[in-house]
Amino acid sequence: MRLFNKAVTKEHRIQLRQRSTEAEIMLWKYLRNKRTGNKFFRQYGIGPYIADFYCPELKLVIEVDGGQHYTEQGAAYDAVRAEYMRSVGIETIRFTNAEVLQRIDSVIAVIVEAAKLTPPNPLFQKVGG
């Protein structure tokens, strides 16, 4: 069974990329092209969910939360989603739109520190010399 970027989520992933929030656009400028030292993808399908940003090497999801995440229903959905991610060995870091827009340097510092603390995914280890 395919876990990543399932065909059924492709159109939705494309739409999400086209409708990125200001905060997502700002963070992507810092994450793209390995600027933090690791390759991130945006609007990446993982199982039935779509992560704002995902680094396969670190098995790390970065989420940028807008207002819908602070409703009771949104919080419940996020909890189920986070549990699913943990069940497949993926950790999630969440930031608010305001954090990204107002303190991008601090956000990037948290991501870089998390990358240092995360053991590398063995699938990305170089073999041989």
In a domain? residue 2 = no
In a domain? residue 124 = no
Asked if residue 129 has pLDDT above 90, the reply is no
In a domain? residue 127 = no
H or E stretch at 65: strand 60-65
Cβ atoms within 10 Å, residue 32: 14
In a domain? residue 51 = yes
Supply the CATH number for residue 109's domain. Answer: 3.40.960.10
How many structural domains comprise the chain? 1
In a domain? residue 39 = yes
Q: Could you list the residue range(s) of the whole structural domain that residue 11 is in?
A: 7-118
pLDDT for the residue numbered 71: 77
What are the respective helix, strand and coil percentages of the chain, to the nearest 5?
55, 20, 25
Q: pTM of the prediction?
A: 0.85
Write the pLDDT tens digit of every residue in 1-58. Answer: 578 887 888 887 878 888 899 999 999 999 999 999 999 999 999 999 999 999 999 9
H or E stretch at 63: strand 60-65
How far is CA 35 from each of CA 15, 32, 74, rounded to the nearest angstrom? 25, 6, 31
